[in-house]
Every structure is written in C-alpha cells, then in structure tokens.
Amino acid sequence: MSPKNRPKISYHIPLSKKILLVIIIFTLTFSITFIGLSTLNNQKISEMVQGNKFLDAINSKVYDINGKIISEFYQENRNPVPLSKIPLNLINATIAIEDSDFYNHKGISLRGIVRAQWENFKNIILQLKKEAKPHGGSTITQQLAINTFLTREISLNRKLKDMLLALQIERSFTKDEILEMYLNEIYFGHGAYGVQSAAKMYFNKNVQDLNLAECALLAGIPRGPSYYSPILNQEVSLKRRNIILNRMYKLGYISEEDMEKAKQNPLELDYNNKRDKLTAPYFSTFILAQLLEEYGANIVYKGGLKIYTTLDLEMQYFAEKALQESGHEGAIIAIEPQTGHIKVMVGGKDFGESKFNRATQAYRQPGSAFKPFIYLTALDNGFTPSNIIEDSPITFKNGWSPENYEKEFSGPVTLREAFEHSINVVGVKLLDQVGIKKVINYSRKAGITSELRPDLSLALGTSEITPLEIASAYATIANLGVRVDPLSIIRIEDYSGKIIKDIIPQKKKVFKEETCYVLTNMMKGVIERGTGWNAKIGRPAAGKTGTTDNFVDAWFIGFTPELVTAVYIGNDDRKPLGNKMTGGVVAAPVWANFMKDALKNNEKIDFLQPDKITKISVCKESGLLPTDSCPEILTVTFIKGTEPTSSCIIHQKYFEIPKVEEYPEIKTPYYEEIEEIKKKYEEKPTETEEKEETLQSLIEMLREKHKK
C-alpha cells in the first residue's frame, strides 16, 4: 500500500489526559530544577540568610528638645515591634488567610503549591477568571524570603529560589522569629511597612491596641495593598475582613459569637499618613541635608537613627502661627544665645507651595539691621552713646550722598539717638570714622559669614545675608560677646541606642562683655523710644529694625536674655511690600506676637550687668550731665571711665530766677547784689553779645518787679 493510500491515524488526546500530562511535565521539570539549584546554591543561600539582618530598613526618627517626635526619615515607613506586642488576633488572622499550615510545614507547602497551580490552571489556561492574577502557593516563610531577598518577578526561576530560601530560613530561625520578621516586613499600602506602621496609619493606634475587627481588616490588606485598602476600597476591604473572620472561626481561633460581633463593627478609620503630613518641614529638611552629607542615604533612611535636635515644637507652632497671621511671605529663626540651639525655624508660610527655606537660603539685604555691628565696633574703640555726630548732608569723594529715610536732617545728635531712630547719615559717618575693614572684621567675629561690601554702603545694609546668619550674630551680642555657632542637632544614636555623635556647643569669647552690654541697652532704646516701638512685649528686650530701598525687605531682629529671634518679611520676586511697609511696621509686630507666646511661661528677667558698667542720668538731647533746665532726662549705660563728666551746655542758664511763689516780695538789698553782678560782668565781658543781653534783661526784669 502506497503511503498516499494509508489511512490517517488520529492522535486525539482527551482533556483529562492533557491535564495529567501538563502536571507530570511541570512536576518533573520543577523537581529536576529544584534539585539542581539546591545542589549548586545551597551553601551560597545559607551564607546569604545567615548574614542578613532582614529588617535593615528601619525608620530614622527626629526628636525635639523635649523628646517629642518631629519627623521620620524613611524610604519605607517601618517601625518594628516584638511578637509579644502583636495581638494574638492579628497573628491568627494572618495565619488563617495566608498560611494555615504555618506551624506544621518546613518552609514550603506542597499542598499549597498544588492548590495554587490548580487555581492558575482554571483561571489562566481555562480562562474561567480572565483578570485573575497567578497564585504562587507561597507560605509565610516564602513571602518573607521574597520580601527580603528577591523581587516580585513571576517566573519559575524566582519560585524555585524562594523555596530554597524558605527552607534555609526555617533551618536558621524558629517559627515565632519567622512570624515576627514577616509581620514587621510586609507592605500594607500607602507607604506603611509592618503591622505597627499600618496600625498607626489606618487607626492611629499602637498595634497592641487593635480589636478583633481591626486585626482582621489589616490581615487582609497585604495580598493586594491597593485593591484591599480601606482608604481606596472600603466595601472590598470589609468583604475581605469578613472572609478572614469566617476563616478564623473555621480554624477555631475565635468563637461564632466573636465572629458575628466583629462583622457588625463599622469601619472606623483614623487615617494618619505621615507621608501626607510634615511637622516643622523646613527644619526637618534642614536636618536631613546635614545627615545625608555625613552618613549617606542608606544609613539615614534605613539605619534606624535617633536624632535628638534643638528645636522646640511648641515654640515652632507659635512661630508658624505668627507668620501665617501676618499674611506675608518670610522667615522666622530663633536661637538660644547661650547654647546656639536653634529653637525655631520657619522657612516660609507654606511648605506645600514652596520648599525654599528662606531662613537659611534667602540672601537678602538687612538694611539698618546691620547697624549694630558698626556701633559695636565704635563702642569698642572709644566711642560712647553720648558722642555727637552731625546729621547733615555730606558727599563723599566718589560722589555718593547718603540720605535718611525721611529725607530730612536733625543736626547734631548723640549716637544713642541716631541709633534708636536709625539715622542713615550718622551711621555712614560713623562707619567712615571707625573704618570699613574694622567693621567687617567685627562682623565676622560676631558670626556673619557672607560676603560684605568693602564700601560705605555697608552702613545701609546693602550686603546680602541670611536670617540664620544675622540671628547668630545678634546672639553673640546677647551672649555678652561669647560666640556660639548655631546648632540644630544635639545627639545621634544608632538603632541599638549607642551614641554615635554627641555635639557640645563650641564657645569663643570675641568681644568685651561691657561693650556688648552698652550696645544691648542702646538696642533696648530702639524698642522703648525708637523705630521698634511695635516690638514691645512687656519684658526687657532689645532689637533693631531694618528696611531696604523701596520697601522690598523688612526685618526685625531682637532678643531677650534667653532668646534671639530674627523675622524677615519679603517677596521671593523682590517686589515691594508697599509704601511705608518698614521693618518696624511689618516685621516688628510678627516678632512681638511670637515672643509673647514663646516666653509666656518664662520669668521676666533683665540682662545681666557686667562689673565695668555704670548707669547715670544724662540730658536726652546733649548726652551730658543734666542741669535743672534740661527738659528730658534719661538713664544711659556707659563703660566705666567713659561716662560724661561735664554738664549740659544746651540747656545751661547763668542765673536762676526766684520763683514768685517762694519770694512774694523783693527787698531793697537785692539792688546791691545786682549792681555787684553788673560790675562783675562789665569788668569781664561775656563771650557773646547774646549773653550780655540776657543778663541785662534779667536785671531789668527784677527792677520792674520791684517797682510793681
């Protein structure tokens, strides 16, 4: 029979035999591959498991000065807890839905694998559920292996690897240790890893405080964190919870009554995702930058560091509130002068809108807020608050003519008055007299690190600096000449509590304490009588206003004995704040609002007076010892030996007129005395014609009174 005429043989294979053949081939392939990988990689995998810490990705926490948590740094939001703190209901719910044979198998469950493959065959090959995802039949131990060592790749090779790893994990750890690691490792959606982070995020509770219904709800999330999220799919999440409750009852973990009661519990979430909220965000990012530079991302995000900082969260709240209520963009920075501790850092009114930290990154002209460093230099080099400088027009060699804010001149004024009222021309003349280089040197010693212009415009604050810089420099004055560089971190501990960095403030004496004390008292006058009157807070305080051309920037930097605060107000695009929007008008009220709240529980104390200080009464106008004719007298502070010794020459009189009330009658003998005085002055003529006329007029006045 020719091949053409041979009957065709049909090789039809029934469906049942096809399925059996597929299973046999799969089993043989799986077994051969498994044995091969086990032989080749067992030693390598053993070393990998033994050397792995599993929970190496632990949040680093940042604390304030009072031990309150500010923020956490993490790539995964994870807070490991021991198994003893995890509720039995949560443990049982997880075992019930994920791996009911957990305490019986050795890392893998053949029954689970077969069951999973049958589900895959029905759903994927037979397409009974087209959208179903492949089942792996993984045990809790396998899932731990995948989460720790492997990727979520769906492949036979990865499946074999996780099985080998699971077997080795079971040989290396107890069941309870494996369960503890797993419950602290699994992902619950929205950035939360582990049961403690999930409990805090979804219910704002510690894990040990969860009830049965909440435990069942959490246990159902890891299979599909997005799909079963109670935030995204409440109905699906509740159905999943009830399936788990049924499973727990079937396995004997709970009674029927407990099951039914838990099913009736409404979904009561208290969603509190740390990724959605940032406390003291500008300070937190400021700290983060320092840590990343020193320790690197791996340690910072995964090392479980404990960072203890200088920030005071209560003060921080008051500062944020003060800036928000002002309605302006700007920054607030507060420093403890004795320690350099940064107590407050507000880098803007809305971190969500702008991450730009104006407290540390905004270089702006301080205007007259720079003048204290000129006056500090002058006071330390022989000048006193009573020295007179003429407030009058002047043109320098380069053709520059400085102007005052009011475009007017006051004539001869004391340095005290010029400082209190922020007279620009006097500031420029004083800078010219003490020397630009010397002022720059003093500024550097105080703590200014930015570039300073070596010309007379320095007196008007034209060199740009940051709020943090100027606050630190003012702190040197407040600390009576002892400079302490600003600090934001006190101590850093590793995950075990071992101190890896302990920061002690570095102090350096840079100015005489008596010089700083005299300047501080001049700065007190700014608030009491000068441009900073809006900064009165009902306790001893000193400060200085600052305003730049066209009202672009407004400042007030002030301090009490325990706190230095700089307030900067200004637009990022450098647009003017508005007409007459000076530092005294815009920034000083913000400063006062914050300081009143920040210090409300502090005792009212004055600045500590050094030994080489004297306080005397002087004429407000001349700065000299007062006469009975001086209309206004002030108490002014001087370094001992520099106080004035001569009397006021502005309000001095040659003869005091008796008061009519005390002398109702003028008797004849006064004529003789008058004649003697007259002869005396005729023999020794007065220096000016004005004085002769004054004396003659007094004599004539007395004669007229006597006649009457």
How many Cα atoms within 13 Å fall on the side-chain side of residue 532?
A: 33
Nearest-Å Rg of the Cα atoms of the chain is 41
Backbone angles phi, psi at 457, to 5 degrees: -65, -10
Say if CB 656 and CB 643 are below 8 A apart: no
Question: What are the tokens at 185?
Answer: 């490792």
| Nearest in space to 368 (alpha carbons), one of 431, 412, 434 | 431
Active site residues: 98, 368
| Nearest in space to 392 (alpha carbons), one of 405, 407, 409, 404 | 409
Contacts of residue 642, defined as CB under 8 A and 6 or more positions apart, other chains included, come to 382, 384
Q: Does an H or E element contain 243, and which?
A: helix 234-250
- Residue carrying structure tokens 């106080």: 643
Phi-psi label, residue 124: left if phi above 0, alpha if psi -120 to 50, beta otherwise:
alpha
Q: Specify the 3-state DSSP secondary structure of 170.
A: helix
Q: Does an H or E element contain 331, and which?
A: strand 330-335
> 60 has which bridge partners?
73
The span from the CA of 414 to the CA of 437, in Å, is 24
Contacts of residue 515, defined as CB under 8 A and 6 or more positions apart, other chains included, come to 376, 379, 380, 481, 639
The span from the CA of 239 to the CA of 596, in Å, is 54
The DSSP code for 607 is P
Say if CB 379 and CB 519 are below 8 A apart: yes
Give the count of beta carbons closer than 10 Å to the beta carbon of residue 561.
21
The DSSP code for 409 is -
Say if CB 471 and CB 565 are below 8 A apart: yes
| Nearest in space to 75 (alpha carbons), one of 197, 160, 183 | 197
Separation in Å, CA 596 to CA 71, 411, 559, 560, 602: 27, 37, 12, 11, 10
* DSSP alpha helix (H) spans, 482-572: 513-529
* DSSP alpha helix (H) spans, 635-688: 669-683
| Nearest in space to 229 (alpha carbons), one of 202, 200, 259 | 202
Give the count of beta carbons closer than 10 Å to the beta carbon of residue 37.
16
Say if CB 565 and CB 559 are below 8 A apart: yes
Say if CB 71 and CB 62 are below 8 A apart: yes
112-116: Cβ within 8 A, 24+ apart: 112/137, 112/138, 112/139, 113/137
Q: Does an H or E element contain 391, and which?
A: strand 388-391
How many Cα atoms within 13 Å fall on the side-chain side of residue 147?
A: 27
| Nearest in space to 579 (alpha carbons), one of 459, 404, 324, 405 | 405
The span from the CA of 486 to the CA of 472, in Å, is 6
Q: Specify the 3-state DSSP secondary structure of 325.
A: helix
